[in-house]
Structure 1
Amino acid sequence: MEKRKLKVEDLFELASVASPKISPDGQEAVFVKTQMNEEENKYVANLFHVDLETNEVSQWTYGNERVSSPAWSSDGKQIAFLSNRDEKNQVYILPRRGGEAKKVTDFGQGVSSFVWSPCGKKIWVNASVKEGQSFTDKEEKNEKKKPEPYRVTKMKYQMDGVGLIPQDSYRHIGIVDIESGDVTQITEGNHQYSLMAVSHSGDNIVFGVNRAENQDYEFRQPLYLADVHSKEETALIDEEGYYGGVAFSNDDQYIAFVGADRTFQNATQSELYVYDRENKSRTCLTENLDAPVGDSVVADLQQGTSAPSVVWTETNDLYFRLSTMGDVRLYYASLEGAIYPASPENEHIYDYEVSRDGEFAVVAVSNAINPGELYKQTIATGERQVLTAFNKEYIEQVELVEPEAIVYQGAKGWDVHGWLMKPVGYEEGEKYPLIVEIHGGPAAMYANTFFHELQLLAAQGYGVLYVNPRGSHGYSQEHVNAVRGDYGGGDYEDIIAGLDYAIEHNDWIDTERLGVTGGSYGGFMTNWIVGHTNRFKAAVTQRSISNWISFFGVSDIGYYFNEWQHGADMNDVETLWNFSPLKYAKNIETPLLILHSENDLRCPMEQAEQLYITLKSMGKETELVRFPDADHNLSRTGLPNLRIARLNEITGWFEKYL
């Protein structure tokens, strides 16, 4: 059968399979399948079940909303999950033997997260509460409510994806009695508490909180172990940086967690720590691994992932993920210091769960030509059984391009890793245009994972080059830190060196038809590139930065990000201006399409407006497309119709100029 080319609208056909949770007896699992609904212009996610003995898959919920964060009770008789079927996320419980899901919470501001109590009769919850109110208090619905002024007294007053942060709302921890519905608030005060874990005995919880009154320059979340009965607290870690992903060992003697200090500010690699409750000591298990713990991948398909940061087995072995060399791999660690990979290269494990006995894992795996499915992997042998096949028919029908991995010499003679895709329908001896894609972050990475946008460009007849220049995660602490104070320096050289390498080794690349695009940091770099070279015949900049001076005051992270990344604030505007693509606007001769979300508070709309008006006033070839009801994450989690429109804008611009 002749395969068809991938289309923009294929986003509606692809399924994201994630959040596998293994039952306590290891015989079954539940997971969440998410798809975009074109008719209703939203994401729909439902709960599924798989028998791990027979591999039989069945659907357990059929709503037209979103289910997330499934979790088994300790006796395996019930599954709790979050659902927004009543607008805001609430906790529901579904009996293992079937029946209707019972709504357990009815909180005014919904539920952020939850953890089962080991007794199975209570649920610990994390939810926002307005000052002076309780979890269950609700605002009166008044359609004619008048707008009110918002007084700003702090620097951290807005957040991308949230908007203006409610000033009188605080996240607290509570416990819900499932049978009676009674809710008890455990924490108090005007602080933001993050519920992390509950001990297997039920006597302790771990939470994160920073109780400093002024949070403007607080970039830390200490972790505390608290006695449920006496409320006595013990600090697990109280240092600069963010820590979380907590898990108690099965005997409750050890507490594992992950996090990163601020040695290299936000470019510091995450580590895996273990706290020994008996001798009150803390050990870093990954100090000899020069790669970040967790998932640093940028992609555009996976939805609803809730991968644990670390999983204990009953013999006190640990499993976690590591982002390394373009892969996200499952790793094993022992308390004695043994540590090694437990999954193959050239793939992206974007979610996982390990059985209590450590015999097997259920892994959600993607690679460049597989959107992602669930597999049961035997730990000892690495052997895998396919559990789901939601995207199997799609793969059989659509021609997907397997990228070629490349390694070349970048700035300072450093090795740089990337990938090159040939266009669909490639024929020897023909010439094809090439598009360079640049990821955001910059502390993130392209990976051996399915990326619809990259496959779309290849399907439209373009070669695609995407690399991990300095500043990217997965290649050492030195590599990810090297971009700080050098935006547009070594990173620019790395990208251009990758282009030169691709051209030198592939005579099919038409050097007169080169395009470049990227978002966020990739948008900054797109702007920078076209201001420093005319090699590209078309460019699309997305959710970009053009002016670091104004970014300082308008971005939700600007006032500290500039200092962290450029070593400069408003006392040194010359440095910020020298790093700003807007300074070099007069040099831009490349036709530039500017895509930007109107609700983007990370790289606010004015960044696009400044660039557009400046270029227009200079008579340059440019257009600006604004996306309403969209924030910084448009390309990954935005409204389906806007995601489709965005891809059509990108491909339309390149079609016009390449």
Structure 2
Amino acid sequence: MALRLEVSAVNLRSVLAFSFAALVLPALPARSETSRFSLDLARKIVGVTSPRVSPDGKLAAFVVTRPNYSDNRNESELYLVSLASGAPRQLTFERRQVSEPRWSPDGGALAFLAPDSLGKNQVWLMPMSGGDARRITRSKTDVQHYSWRPDGSAIAYAAADEEPKREGDASHIATMQVGDQDLFLHAPMRSQHIWLQAIDTTAAQRLTSGAWSLEMVLPPGSPPSELGWSPDGKQIAFARVPLPQSGRFDSVSVRVLDVASHAIRSLTGAERFQNNPVWSPDGRSILYVYPREGRGDLGWMTEIHLAPATGGPGRSLTRALDRNFFGAEWMPGGKSILVAANDRTGVGLWIQPLEGAAKRIETGDLVISGAFGYEVTVSAKGALVFVATSAGRPSELYVMDSPTARPRRLTDFNAWATDVAWGREERVTWRNDSFDEDGVLVYPPTFNPASSYPLVLLVHGGPQASSRTSFSSLAQLMATEGWLVFQPNYRGSDNLGNAYMAAITADAGAGPGRDVMAGIAELRKRPYVSPAKPAVTG
């Protein structure tokens, strides 16, 4: 599913800079009942990402990330869990940089990305019957992402072109033509193209070439569009930009490649703001992401559209939901799709039929993980598998056996969190400039309404993001110090509809400032909020 964003377990440098602590911290003290959250405990946070359900709907593969403070890096390995019984087990060891697990169509093998001996990301294949994983790509540059052919005979993968070899005096020249590039780039980006790798051979076949590139992104944006195979394995839908330059990334559009002839055609004729294509199970339609009325230039929300696979205009499926979507996945049967988006101070999850109104799926106090995409997928049997957090629990893997079932936790990597006294998180609301606005207030764990507490603002970036009642190590660390932590959502945030998100266009300073100050004014009506000047970070 395209609804995901792979994230690290913890931002090591940010946490350490905030605490002014050394890399080597003392051993954890013995705890009897509950403990204060601290940097010692933050070292124990484990990240869970990238769930993928096996074709038979019985197992889920996922990635577990742990911080290595000695080497100042996060290390990721592949795990497997039964959706019926839980009990996860580790599949890879000492690879340290595993990502993107993908089941073979028959479920007999599990592919993943990991570096080779030269440090280049390659696709590896692990037989589920037992045995070591073997490398199946030998790309000269990192494999960026990949997708199985529906018959399981090959994968398509994305990789950048090699840097041209420089000889003579040219080998000593380090200058570059900046072009329409990001200010901080120090080397030109190379075009990325599609390659076809058969499972039973070592040679790869190049399918595309040219000055244009597959969609590219710079962090912290959403991941690039995946390669979408047609069900018959004859075509690949992909997202294309005209040049590998960051200033042209908004000129992204969906194209369709004929694998045999290498011919490429446009899906709808659009030339901007269109990405994340996903073929329908019957091969007749393609889902894609596109702004409302195509007005990405005005900061309008992106919606899920549907177009005929043969080409032609598309239509929005999610307009009535009025939320900002980054991708979708087909539900079993192909008559509806699964979508997720920031919604108020949580993440909304819906089943959207191709015709008619969407139905919301309730996840309780769990907030599905992700920022520019969401960690949720659906099995062939209709079970929903997702990564989520709550105010007092870092990420774990959950399953809902059906869209109406209660979530069950499948993993317990952050069990230590049950022994910690966490600050309560509350959605707060106010009104300003004709907008109904909201944010999150985190209370000190020892909160007493008869006391007075200083206010700290923790402002999200983006601006197309939102503050949520999910686990936040930084907000909880501040709350443990006895501070009220206010995380406001201001105009430009993507949790309250198109009009609110687009209101920041041509008003990126004063308007959001008024929103935040109105939120502070609302909080100061509460007797326990100190009248002193608040601190601000974010």
**What's the TM-score once normalised by structure 1's chain length?**
0.70
Superposed displacement of residue 471, structure 1: 1.7
Equivalent position of 1:512 in the other structure: 532
Equivalent position of 2:179 in the other structure: 154
Equivalent residues in 2 for 1:378-527 (5 A)?
A: 378-392=401-415, 394-410=416-432, 412-505=433-526, 507-512=527-532, 514-518=534-538
Instruction: State the alpha-carbon separation in 1 of the partners of residues 392 and 114 from structure 2.
Output: 31
Q: Is the 8 A contact 1:331 1:341 kept in 2?
A: yes
C-alpha change, 1:187 and 1:131, in structure 2 (3 Å) is farther
335, 342, 348: which one pairs with 2:367?
Answer: 348
Structure index of larger Rg: 1
Equivalent residues in 2 for 1:108-507 (5 A)?
A: 108-130=140-162, 148-152=173-177, 154-156=179-181, 158=182, 163-166=185-188, 169-194=190-215, 196-211=227-242, 216=247, 219-260=250-291, 263-265=295-297, 267-277=299-309, 280-294=312-326, 309-344=328-363, 346-350=365-369, 351-358=375-382, 360-392=383-415, 394-410=416-432, 412-505=433-526, 507=527
Equivalent position of 1:103 in the other structure: 135
Q: Is the 8 A contact 2:242 2:248 kept in 1?
A: no
C-alpha change, 1:457 and 1:437, in structure 2 (3 Å) is same
Q: Secondary structure at the match of 1:66?
A: coil
Q: Secondary structure at the match of 2:191?
A: strand
Superposed displacement of residue 68, structure 1: 0.6
Instruction: For 1:148, give the aligned amino acid.
Output: I
Name the structure where helix makes up a greater proportion of residues: 1
Write out per-residue CA displacement over residues 343-382 of structure 1, whole angstroms, 9 at most, x where no aligned residue.
Answer: 3365421211101232x11111122222121111033423
Q: Secondary structure at the match of 2:519?
A: helix
Q: Is the 8 A contact 1:17 1:31 kept in 2?
A: yes
Instruction: State the alpha-carbon separation in 2 of the partners of residues 370 and 193 from structure 1.
Output: 37
Superposed displacement of residue 493, structure 1: 1.4
C-alpha change, 1:170 and 1:414, in structure 2 (3 Å) is closer
Instruction: For 1:91, give the aligned amino acid.
Output: V
Write out per-residue CA displacement over residues 510-551 of structure 1, whole angstroms, 9 at most, x where no aligned residue.
Answer: 222521112xxxxxxxxxxxxxxxxxxxxxxxxxxxxxxxxx
Q: Is the 8 A contact 2:57 2:380 kept in 1?
A: yes
Aligned-residue Cα RMSD (Å) equals: 2.5
Instruction: State the alpha-carbon separation in 1 of the partners of residues 39 and 255 from structure 2.
Output: 47
Equivalent position of 1:613 in the other structure: none
Between the aligned residues of both structures, percent identity stands at 26
Equivalent position of 1:41 in the other structure: 72
C-alpha change, 1:415 and 1:223, in structure 2 (3 Å) is same
Superposed displacement of residue 415, structure 1: 1.6
Instruction: State the alpha-carbon separation in 2 of the partners of residues 292 and 286 from structure 1.
Output: 9
Instruction: For 1:478, give the aligned amino acid.
Output: A
Instruction: State the alpha-carbon separation in 2 of the partners of residues 515 and 264 from structure 1.
Output: 34
Instruction: State the alpha-carbon separation in 2 of the partners of residues 121 and 132 from structure 1.
Output: 32
Instruction: State the alpha-carbon separation in 2 of the partners of residues 263 and 281 from structure 1.
Output: 16
Instruction: State the alpha-carbon separation in 2 of the partners of residues 51 and 215 from structure 1.
Output: 42
Instruction: State the alpha-carbon separation in 2 of the partners of residues 229 and 269 from structure 1.
Output: 36
Superposed displacement of residue 466, structure 1: 1.2
C-alpha change, 1:434 and 1:211, in structure 2 (3 Å) is closer
Gapped runs of 5+ residues in structure 2? 1-31, 216-225, 370-374
Superposed displacement of residue 431, structure 1: 2.3
C-alpha change, 1:57 and 1:463, in structure 2 (3 Å) is same
C-alpha change, 1:32 and 1:484, in structure 2 (3 Å) is same
Q: Secondary structure at the match of 1:273?
A: strand
Q: Does residue 26 of structure 1 match 2:57?
A: yes
**What's the TM-score once normalised by structure 2's chain length?**
0.85
